[in-house]
Amino acid sequence: MSNQRKIEVTFLPGGEKVTAEAGVTVSKAAALAAVPLALPCGGKGNCGNCRVVIQDGATAEPTAAELRLLTPAQRGQGVRLACQCRLESDALVQVPPASRVVGQKDLRQVQLREVPLDANVKRYHLELSPPSLEDQRSDFRRLKEAVQDRCPELTGFADALRALPAALRADNYRVGVTAVGRRMADVHPEYATPACLGLAVDIGTSTVVAYIVDLETGRPLSTAAEHNPQIRHGADVISRVEYANTHLAGLPTLRQEVTHVINAITKAALDQIGADARWIYEAAIVGNTCMHHLFLGLDPRHLAEAPYVPVTNEAVDARPAAVGLEMNPRGNVHCLPCIAGFVGADTVAVITAEEMTRQPYPVLAVDIGTNGEIALWSGEKLYVASCAAGPAFEGSQIERGMRAGPGAVDRVDLDTDDLTFTTIREADPVGICGSGLFDIMAVALESGAVTASGRMADAAQAEPLLPGLRARLIGEGNDRRLVLAGDASNGGGVYLSQRDVREIQLAKGAVRATLEMMLEHAGLRVEDLHEVLLAGAFGNYIRPESALRMGLLPPMPVEKIRGVGNAAGSGAILALLSRAERLYAQQVAREAEHLELFRARDFQNRFAETMMF
């Protein structure tokens, strides 16, 4: 037993309390208290996004990282970095909204096309004849022969067979039978037959989303989302792989974290409709290749080193207990196939949801996230590639960046003499989320507040700007800021900084360079594209005009750009509803050509060019 002195840490505004050893970092205490704290750099002290306010309690002296990333005025107000600050006594810690990770819960992000309902899970409603001296068939044979034409060679789980005699006789041989594939998973008296549900999960690097689907009607019923708790080990997949490789229990920890959050949001989604986890008979899982491996407990180390080989690209089926999911124990968990080391089942799901390879014309799909994934259908061949866009577009590594939540600036416009903005839920502004980041960059470029090189206008360059906009520019050099709200002179307020612009340049340059080189590889011009699909968390929220103005996409008619919401989630739902769509997903993964563009000789030159606005 440790003799280390114990302290109590209380987190505001939620009031979570935890007892820990003196000298613990705030981030470690937050993890113990289940406080969702954003640590985009994995706690290395590089990004400065985990700012908290120590309202009471003794702390160790600021580290070199804190001295570099926090102003003297901020430190004087108790602002510290959670991953650096060590607590020496009982403490009261305020976690600002911008440092918390907030999940989205919006069923409207699902855009499902119509498919014939042919799920792997079937519910059969039967009325059987009772046994007699002339008909002494076993209970199971009686049931099996009744569904022979619809489900040939039905077999049964032992525990489902145990429930069969009572179920048959409770309602005069009227029963509801649930088959997973060709195995009877459940049987109930007809009057007591529960819902037949499926679970679709999109495991994102930053956010995990779950959808509950009625497998008898094909209708999505509810959804819930939460941050991916693995983010405390780093915002990108390489950080996760590094953690798995360098910590004794790294892989089991990462696996347990993602399983725990899936079970938690599944319960939240079930609670919305008053359903039970035992009514879920199949789950369809998508995610990038790293998330796929961590969920299944597969060694991810070779994903991060050339030649970036996954353990498997194939679709994987598993029993719920084998992967730790809380659902019907006789159900099935289906993981869609991946394509390559950095192009995973989420991209396969996007392509499937939009039927890209069934179109007679070229289509481009861009899934904007921490790991940007791009798919190009030439009309004859499918190409895929990935790029390390980083978490900037999701609000991380942006000084006042945050994920979508109350108080996040989500829209910015240019008015007659100034800019205007809105926030989520019309709350007081506390940070900038992804869609707001795109907008403010577009407005800054259009107005001249930021030059084509990515430099914020200095005092002389700001003279011709609109009066309201000119007044929002403060600071000098790398400390130059475009203020949206509040007092940013002492490090407070909500603003876009010169450093933020550089982060955005890196992210948009990586995406733009990758898609331009993909077009060249396919022998296509921008003009040949019939449609450009924006998928991922921003699919429904980014304004195409802003994406074009900041140069994420090459110049094209705005009418060609279409947001498709969480198409990865839609693809997972389709895999639940249709065995044909599941086969289509496997065909997509098998036939796609993966392009390793970032290793190409001229990628760095193209990247440097596309960083310009």
pTM of structure: 0.85
Distances in whole angstroms, Cα of residue 99 to Cα of each of 11, 30, 96, 132: 13, 12, 6, 70
Query: In terms of DSSP H, where are the helices of 37-136?
Result: 64-69, 72-76
Instruction: Please tell me which residue, 32 or 135, carries the higher pLDDT value.
Output: 135
Mean pLDDT of the 159-187 span: 96
Span 508-539, pLDDT tens digits: 998 999 999 999 999 999 999 999 999 976 66
Residue 404's pLDDT band, with cuts at 50, 70 and 90, is: confident
| Residue 374 near residue 368 (C-beta atoms within 8 A) | no
Q: Compute the distance between CA of residue 609 and CA of residue 442 in angstroms, rounded to an integer.
A: 18
Q: Is 210 exposed, middle or buried (0-12, 13-18, 19+ CB in 10 A)?
A: buried
| 110 has pLDDT over 90 | no
pLDDT at 200: 98
Residue 103's pLDDT band, with cuts at 50, 70 and 90, is: very low
pLDDT at 390: 67
Write down how long the chain is: 613
pLDDT at 400: 87
Class at the top of the CATH hierarchy for domain 355-390+506-610: alpha beta
Q: Compute the distance between CA of residue 178 and CA of residue 195 in angstroms, rounded to an integer.
A: 10
pLDDT at 306: 86
**What's the token pair of residue 514?**
């990758």
User: Which residues does 373 contact at the CB level (< 8 Å), separation at least 6?
Assistant: 288, 342, 343, 344, 346, 347, 350, 367, 384, 385, 386
Superfamily of domain 6-99 in the CATH hierarchy:
Beta-grasp domain (3.10.20.30)
Domain ranges in the chain with CATH number 3.10.20.30: 6-99
Domain ranges in the chain with CATH number 3.30.420.480: 200-335
Residue 456's pLDDT band, with cuts at 50, 70 and 90, is: very high
Class at the top of the CATH hierarchy for domain 121-192: alpha beta
Superfamily of domain 200-335 in the CATH hierarchy:
Domain of unknown function (DUF4445) (3.30.420.480)
pLDDT at 375: 97
Domain ranges in the chain with CATH number 3.10.20.880: 121-192
Q: Average pLDDT over the chain, rounded to whole?
A: 91
Span 546-567, pLDDT tens digits: 999 999 999 999 999 999 988 9
| Residue 156 near residue 186 (C-beta atoms within 8 A) | no
Mean pLDDT of the 60-82 span: 90
| 446 has pLDDT over 80 | yes
User: Which residues does 450 contact at the CB level (< 8 Å), separation at least 6?
Assistant: 441, 444, 456, 457, 482, 501, 613
pLDDT at 242: 93
pLDDT at 542: 86
Residue 56's pLDDT band, with cuts at 50, 70 and 90, is: very high
Phi, psi at residue 92, to the nearest 5°? Answer: -120, 115
Instruction: Please tell me which residue, 429 or 404, carries the higher pLDDT value.
Output: 429
pLDDT at 1: 42
Mean pLDDT of the 431-459 span: 93
Order across the sheet with 79-81: list the strands.
Answer: 16-21, 6-12, 91-94, 51-56, 79-81
What Rg do the C-alpha atoms of the chain give, in angstroms? 27
Instruction: Please tell me which residue, 488 or 255, carries the higher pLDDT value.
Output: 255
pLDDT at 491: 66
| 6 has pLDDT over 90 | yes
| Residue 433 near residue 395 (C-beta atoms within 8 A) | yes
| 18 has pLDDT over 70 | yes
Q: Compute the distance between CA of residue 352 and CA of residue 572 in angstroms, rounded to an integer.
A: 9
| 104 has pLDDT over 50 | no
Residue 227's pLDDT band, with cuts at 50, 70 and 90, is: confident
Residue 106's pLDDT band, with cuts at 50, 70 and 90, is: low
Percent of all residues in the chain with a pLDDT value above 70, rounded to a whole number: 95
Q: Is 192 exposed, middle or buried (0-12, 13-18, 19+ CB in 10 A)?
A: exposed
pLDDT at 388: 76
| 487 has pLDDT over 50 | yes
Mean pLDDT of the 472-489 span: 90
Query: In terms of DSSP H, where are the helices of 339-400?
Result: 345-353
Mean pLDDT of the 108-128 span: 90
| 101 has pLDDT over 80 | no
Mean pLDDT of the 476-490 span: 88
pLDDT at 107: 57
Largest CA distance in the chain: 102
The secondary structure of residue 343, as a DSSP letter, is: B
| 475 has pLDDT over 70 | yes
| 98 has pLDDT over 70 | no
Mean pLDDT of the 306-311 span: 92
| 581 has pLDDT over 90 | yes
